[in-house]
Structure 1
Amino acid sequence: MFQFFEWYTPTDHQHWIRLREQASLLASLGLTAIWLPPPTKGSAPNDVGYAVYDLWDMGEFDQKGTIPTKYGTKDELKEAIAECKKHGIQIYFDAVLNHKASGDETQTFKAVAVAEDDRNQEIEAPHDIKAYTKFTFPGRQNKYSDFQWSHEHFSGTDWDAKAERSAVFKIKGENKSFSEDVDNEKGNFDYLMCCNIDYKHPDVVAETEKWAMWCVNEFGIDGIRIDAAKHISFGFITHLLTHIRQESNNPDFFAVGEYWVQDVGDLEARVENEDPNSKYANGNIHLFDVPLHFNFAKAASEGPSYDLRTIFDGSLVKTAPASAVTFIDNHDTQPYQALESYVQPWFKPLAAALICLRFDGYPCLFYGDFYGIEPKSPEEPDTAIPGRKEMFSRMLLARKEFAYGSQDDYLNHSNCIGWVRHGDEHHPKGLAVVMSNSNAKGYKKMNVGAHRAGQVWVDMMGYWQDPVTISNEGWAKFHCHAGSVSLWVEKEEGKHWITVEESSPGDKEKHLQEEQYARDHADDESSDEEEQVFEAEHPDLPKPLDTWDHLLQDDHDEA
């Protein structure tokens, strides 16, 4: 999956055109699905899409100061989708179903403020407030739907225009309460922002069902990413997905929820309970592996003091791999955003290998990592972050061509780990991956199969220049440089894997030293003597370097 946007994507109404133009390239790299930003009309012309105003306006009506959304017009969206489909790419809409923003009219109704840290605690008596809870969509004039939203369709809001006061207000009325089957942070985390949608109201459920099926039939979408899933009734999410799959006759309609918690137990509770009567029934939903993202961020920050053998500990891909969508970063974790926890650039290639080249998980790559992140503002050009298109393209090609079949892990050293993919009937070529998070080169002695004896293998990233030859028993020492990852595949006649990114002169000198040392000691069998350490610092690794491990050969060298 590819997340085709970042937070600072330009407000030039050209993004759907960019997608149409890039579809062929992305498909050629093996990408099979695109997660689009919210295509619906937001509360302002430059809205990223999460302050959603009108779900039915995909850049078609003059509303909130614009006809196109930030990303373009409805027609351009449909053209981009058609081009993606032509290349075999599925389309997932980002569905913002938790709230609505920027209502058209105010209404007066009973509400009560609740404590910010305990939404179950009412801190005052119910009283009249005035809020923008009336949505009439005058620019659309009832096209596609004549449903108009009113305060009875919401369970909370955050602004009393009468008192000019901001608070978390719980709306009072018949059958009014926050949903119980949501995350229990703050006592009850149903309310997040703006006008909080009440999915206990049957008219709201019917309207959302109608809109979802319109998206399927009008745009041919294959799935949805559910924004703010921890704040939405999971019973409703289950109901909606069941409705879409039944009405569209597509049991494989995909769904992934943004359930932003670091405790894998909370995620497991949402994906592993199959009791249809349980409030945690999941409706066959995937979830983003948030704990794994934080493992990556921690590993990148700590450098060699981080034990790579623990990289999957506490992750969803380890405990429920069939339900995990793995990722490195996204629009919320990028710098200056609400959930900023950006993975440092030096670790990105390692993380890419960990999500793209292993058996488990459904990997999702981020537009900002691939194409780059735009500046926070025109006045702050230094906040831009360059993309790593060449590196990620090589990783994707490795996945597309080589990452198949059974997997043997060599996760037996705190600073150097590796694994082997053995290929399958349709993709018989194997793959060996080795990575180091230390300031010294590393290697793993791994077995790729006796049937590959005599083959010459090379690093398809182009980082390690020396080839290796597979022994009669299928073993070889597969190397990588400091703070780096190498992807080893059988050498093909006439194919030379050029280095995907230029290194600094200091790096090149160090790499030559490392490879010469490896050549000189290629036949060493002892695992007791410490390897020579090259003290030149890797330019991207965290400082200070006083904790770098000096020994990267296997703890348990196998004969």
Structure 2
Amino acid sequence: MENPVILQTFYWEMNTGKYAEEYPEEADLWLLLAEKAKEISEAGFDLLWFPPANKGAGGVFDVGYGTYDLWDLGEFDQKGSKRTKYGTKEELMQAIAELHKYDLKLLYDAVLDHRMGGDEKEKVKLKDCSDAEVWTKFNFPGRNDKYSSLKLDWSCFDGTDWNELTKETGEMLFNTKEWDDSFDEDFLMGANLDYQNSAVREDTINWGKWIINEIGFDGFRFDASKHVDNSMIHDFIEETDKASAKDLFYIGEAWINDVDTLVNYLDAINHPKLHVFDFPLRERFIELMHGDLDMRWLGAKGLVNRQGYKRRAITFIENHDTERDAENEYGTEAIAQRKFQAYCYILMRRDGVPKVFWKDYHHFGLKDVIDKLIKARKKFAYGDAYESESNDKNTYSYIRSGDQDHPGSGLVMMITKHEHGEIIEKTVNSGQPNTEYYDYTGNIDEKVKTDNDANGQFKVKGTAEKGYSVWVAVE
């Protein structure tokens, strides 16, 4: 894949409330993705991040993160329905086949931390020797041992969050257990899986191989990966990768806003194929939204600019957790301004793999601009990368030199936080002397020509709405 781009195919409120009324086609996501396969490919996307496709405790209402049965992809009558929120297994398989016709790679959102919606209660002792009744028996009666015969009971978990006996909620560790060796606190929610239990570990890895080799996915996004046993994440990647002839792609959702700590997480997992979302870079985009970011140093921010780790960054602006209609429970802000500047930054950058959010693309009116920026990435964003000496507190420029393999490639990207409405002009060395440029975004009408030393007076509009330009050579 050259200059790959990821599309996240879902959002938290999908097929609920006003979204169900305005976008009824999203009620059957698998069918919708199959229908849009050609369009998605032609837009320049390479990878699609699917929501969890397995049965959740909430049945058809479960976004997918309340994992009940990993092996039920909408095939069995469990939790009140056969289908999941997104469709049936048959529809899923049809979508995979159709999307693969266009060489799209598909990533499964694997929720490996916990289970929810147990079928029966059990009496257990907690670490403080008190008694508890917990929902930790998972019999999967609708599946009847198809694909896997493993049933779960309390011994498959380290602890849980609800005591039926006392009606108490909270972090409860079982008497003979210890939390797994995860990067952050092991317990997150629900019944916390014990990956020191060899049966649980083996069944989960076997499921991963099945998802790749039988169902047809091309990689995984690991939900809440910093809360899952480190060695389990490593071994899951290692074993599924070895079991497939495909070049699989892996992303960990380690929600860590500090670059050094995110590097430490990657080092702890110690697998070269693992990418992570660049949450530290997104924090800078929040500052940019508010006009507080010092643009001089933007070229050094985030994992995408950390030596030795640049290519393992998944750069993004929003996802299903950061952008929600309700008050955000994760203590972050949705990026409501200067979003095109942020997309311009991640899509023109040499390093990292940029991800586009479904709501941004389909609901917030950003599709046409994002399409144009992706086309610019695919056609012009090649060669060495340089920070411009003209960068100041308000305006940032970035140069791609182009290369011989992509005739006409190379670009000058400019983004600004100015809002005075005037045209900002900067002397930027494009690396290409005596070359005429035009703004591919269309935000600036006039052309620019570089001199014998490759310097040109490149421009960008000083507005929040159109404060981004991608200058490319006139053909």
Fold agreement, TM-score > 0.5: yes
What residue number does 1:546 align with? none
CA–CA separation in structure 2 for the residues paired with 1:443 and 1:69: 53
5+ unaligned residues in a row in structure 1: which ranges? 113-124, 184-188, 274-278, 373-385, 493-559
Shift of 1:85: 1.1
Structure having the higher Rg: 1
What residue number does 1:129 align with? 132
Pairing partner for 1:200 from 196, 201, 204: 196
Per-residue CA shift, 1:282-324, capped at 9, x if unaligned?
Answer: 35311111111111012212x1x42112235452112120211
What residue number does 2:417 align with? 437
What residue number does 1:262 align with? 257
Shift of 1:77: 1.1
Pairing partner for 1:422 from 384, 401, 406: 401
Mapped pair 1:177 → 2:178: yes
Shift of 1:155: 0.3
Q: Which residue type is aligned with residue 263 of structure 2?
A: E
Residue pair 2:344, 2:373 contacting (<8 A) in 1 also = yes
Pairing partner for 2:276 from 279, 283, 287: 287
What residue number does 1:52 align with? 67
Query: Following superposition of structure 1 onto structure 2, how do residues 291-330 of structure 1 map, counting pairs within 5 Å?
Result: 291-301=280-290, 303=291, 305-319=292-306, 320-330=309-319
Q: Which moved more, 1:281-290 or 1:149-158?
A: 281-290
Shift of 1:358: 1.1
State how many pairs are aligned. 449
Mapped pair 1:387 → 2:365: yes
Shift of 1:24: 1.3
CA–CA separation in structure 2 for the residues paired with 1:181 and 1:396: 36
Pairing partner for 1:477 from 442, 457, 463: 457
Mapped pair 1:353 → 2:344: yes
Shift of 1:343: 4.3
Query: Following superposition of structure 1 onto structure 2, how do residues 9-408 of structure 1 map, counting pairs within 5 Å?
Result: 9-10=14-15, 13-44=27-58, 45-112=60-127, 125-173=128-176, 176-183=177-184, 189-250=185-246, 252-271=247-266, 273=267, 280-282=269-271, 284-301=273-290, 303=291, 305-319=292-306, 320-335=309-324, 336=326, 337-339=328-330, 341-372=332-363, 386-408=364-386
Shift of 1:217: 1.4
Shift of 1:30: 1.8
What residue number does 2:442 align with? 462
Cα RMSD of the aligned pairs, angstroms, is 1.7
CA–CA separation in structure 1 for the residues paired with 2:135 and 2:298: 46
5+ unaligned residues in a row in structure 2: which ranges? 1-5, 17-25
Per-residue CA shift, 1:389-412, capped at 9, x if unaligned?
Answer: 111111111101111111221162
CA–CA separation in structure 1 for the residues paired with 2:404 and 2:441: 25
TM-score normalised according to structure 1 size: 0.78
Q: Percent identity?
A: 35
Residue pair 1:58, 1:68 contacting (<8 A) in 2 also = yes
Shift of 1:439: 2.0
Per-residue CA shift, 1:477-522, capped at 9, x if unaligned?
Answer: 1111013101112234xxxxxxxxxxxxxxxxxxxxxxxxxxxxxx
Mapped pair 1:491 → 2:471: no
Mapped pair 1:7 → 2:32: no
Residue pair 2:226, 2:265 contacting (<8 A) in 1 also = no
Shift of 1:92: 0.6
CA–CA separation in structure 2 for the residues paired with 1:325 and 1:457: 30
Q: Which residue type is aligned with residue 473 of structure 2?
A: E
Shift of 1:270: 2.3
CA–CA separation in structure 2 for the residues paired with 1:223 and 1:299: 32
TM-score normalised according to structure 2 size: 0.91
Residue pair 1:417, 1:444 contacting (<8 A) in 2 also = no
CA–CA separation in structure 2 for the residues paired with 1:391 and 1:345: 16
Per-residue CA shift, 1:402-438, capped at 9, x if unaligned?
Answer: 1111122116211111112121122122211111111
Residue pair 2:123, 2:133 contacting (<8 A) in 1 also = yes
* Partner SS, residue 171 of structure 2: strand
Shift of 1:246: 1.6
CA–CA separation in structure 2 for the residues paired with 1:309 and 1:54: 49
* Partner SS, residue 345 of structure 1: coil
Shift of 1:348: 0.8
CA–CA separation in structure 1 for the residues paired with 2:110 and 2:321: 16
CA–CA separation in structure 2 for the residues paired with 1:191 and 1:449: 52
- With over 3 angstroms needed to count, the CA separation of the structure-2 counterparts of 1:13 and 1:339, relative to structure 1, is same
Residue pair 1:158, 1:166 contacting (<8 A) in 2 also = yes
CA–CA separation in structure 2 for the residues paired with 1:82 and 1:476: 48
CA–CA separation in structure 1 for the residues paired with 2:425 and 2:53: 46
* Partner SS, residue 230 of structure 1: helix
